[in-house]
């Protein structure tokens, strides 16, 4: 999977963009995600994201992704996943894929696509990261693709050793020599106009943003970092209004507080299709909050299948499905 997706940032960005556009046109179906939680292990969960994506993709499937925060202490990735694609002709499962890499890549592509669409400075040289895990590292990779002038990072993590490791990996990947590790998340907002938040927070922990003359863009990837006060004071763009106002996200809490969703201006697809402007002039801060739609996993999985076929990789299991009743009765 890593080999197939290496260097494919442009193709992944295009697949994610098209999936948003197809979704806006109504050629998709995305049921609400199902959260499996555990009464005695509240920080752990497994999520099912079923979806259908039409247009040129014409595929259906599901991502089954787990998040066990204790994995970090075990030295393994927090998230693991599988993706299953089903035939649109017979409904039979056709492909089983390792899903955590697909999930990370599609999340990063979505964030980068939002950044280049919403951020007013396309010559941006500096980006801030709050949370130094694998998701923000992938976002860093994709931001380099859409902002070729990036050369400086300001990063924060609750655990400084993780921030130091993140800085080392980013420097080795990009050659950046200006990487600042800060002891306070607030400094990231003060120093950077473009900030990506990808943490494991389950409740809002940022109740205000420092004043800045900069026109700021926040990629609120982890969805639960910002208090309703911050949401209400900002210009809000999402991937899907119905989906993002669920599961006690910051926007769900804001909707509960206000009794409406009027604080959400539009979807990213509205901006991509030029149905609405990228920013609202009344706010200096624009926040992109993506719930993470299953159609993105399908789009990138479809790309992986095409790349695998072109490279003649993957394993065919001819006996995976049982024989038909007719075949069984004639044996």
Whether 162 has a pLDDT exceeding 80, the answer reads yes
Averaged pLDDT, 148-172: 97
Averaged pLDDT, 147-154: 98
Residue 129 and residue 140 in contact, taking contact as beta carbons nearer than 8 Å: yes
Residue 121 and residue 193 in contact, taking contact as beta carbons nearer than 8 Å: yes
| CA pair distance 16, 319, nearest whole angstrom | 33
Whether 44 has a pLDDT exceeding 70, the answer reads yes
Whether 60 has a pLDDT exceeding 50, the answer reads yes
**Which residue, among 252, 214, 256, 209, has the nearest Cα to 234 in the 3D structure?**
209
Number of residues that make up the chain = 331
> Mean pLDDT, the chain, as a whole number?
95
pLDDT band, residue 1 (cuts 50/70/90): very high
3-state SS class at 310: helix
| CA pair distance 304, 1, nearest whole angstrom | 8
Per-residue model confidence as pLDDT tens digits over 202-246: 899 999 999 988 899 999 999 999 999 999 999 999 999 999 999
Whether 279 has a pLDDT exceeding 60, the answer reads yes
pLDDT band, residue 327 (cuts 50/70/90): low
Q: How many CA atoms lie within 13 A of 206 on its CB side?
A: 23
**Which residue, among 142, 289, 279, has the nearest Cα to 219 in the 3D structure?**
289
What pLDDT does residue 331 have?
Answer: 44
| CA pair distance 292, 106, nearest whole angstrom | 9
Residue 49 and residue 294 in contact, taking contact as beta carbons nearer than 8 Å: yes
Whether 110 has a pLDDT exceeding 70, the answer reads yes
Q: Of 42-46, 92-96, 251-255, 264-268, give the lowest mean pLDDT range.
A: 42-46
Per-residue model confidence as pLDDT tens digits over 11-29: 999 999 999 999 999 999 9
Walk me through the domains of the chain, giving residue ranges and CATH numbers: 2-102+294-321 (3.30.1780.10), 120-289 (3.40.50.720)
Percentage of the chain with pLDDT > 90? 88
What pLDDT does residue 325 have?
Answer: 63
**Residue 39: Cβ within 10 Å count:** 5
Q: Outline where the chain has alpha helix (H).
A: 2-5, 9-24, 71-74, 100-118, 134-146, 160-174, 185-191, 228-232, 241-244, 250-258, 268-272, 294-311, 325-330
Residue 131 and residue 199 in contact, taking contact as beta carbons nearer than 8 Å: yes
**Which residue, among 178, 205, 240, 246, has the nearest Cα to 26 in the 3D structure?**
240
């Amino acid at each position: 999977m890593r080999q197939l997706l290496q260097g494919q940032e442009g193709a992944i960005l295009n697949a994610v963009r098209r999936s948003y556009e197809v979704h806006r046109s109504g050629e998709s179906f995305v049921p609400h995600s199902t959260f499996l939680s555990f009464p005695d292990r509240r920080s752990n969960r497994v999520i099912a994201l079923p979806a259908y994506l039409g247009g040129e993709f014409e595929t259906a499937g599901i991502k089954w992704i787990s998040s066990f925060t204790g994995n970090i202490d075990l030295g393994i990735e927090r998230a693991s996943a599988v993706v299953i694609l089903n035939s649109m002709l017979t409904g039979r499962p056709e492909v089983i894929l390792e899903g955590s890499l697909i999930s990370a890549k599609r999340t990063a592509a979505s964030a980068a696509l939002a950044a280049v669409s919403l951020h007013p400075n396309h010559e941006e040289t500096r980006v801030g990261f709050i949370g130094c895990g694998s998701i923000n590292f992938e976002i860093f990779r994709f931001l380099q693709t859409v902002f070729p002038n990036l050369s400086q990072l300001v990063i924060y993590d609750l655990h400084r050793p993780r921030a130091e490791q993140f800085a080392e990996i980013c420097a080795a990947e990009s050659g950046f020599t200006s990487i600042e590790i800060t002891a306070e998340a607030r400094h990231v907002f003060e120093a950077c106009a473009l900030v990506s938040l990808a943490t494991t927070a389950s409740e809002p922990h940022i109740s205000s943003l420092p004043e800045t003359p900069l026109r700021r863009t926040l990629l609120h990837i982890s969805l639960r970092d910002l208090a309703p006060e911050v949401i209400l004071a900002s210009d809000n763009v999402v991937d899907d209004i119905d989906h993002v106002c669920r599961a006690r996200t910051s926007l769900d809490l804001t909707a509960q507080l206000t009794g409406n969703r009027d604080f959400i201006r539009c979807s990213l697809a509205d901006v991509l299709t030029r149905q609405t402007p990228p920013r609202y002039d009344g706010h200096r801060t624009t926040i992109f909050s993506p719930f993470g739609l299953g159609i993105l996993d399908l789009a990138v999985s479809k790309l992986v299948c095409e790349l695998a076929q072109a490279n003649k990789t993957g394993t065919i299991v001819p006996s995976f499905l049982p024989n038909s009743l007719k075949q069984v009765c004639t044996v």
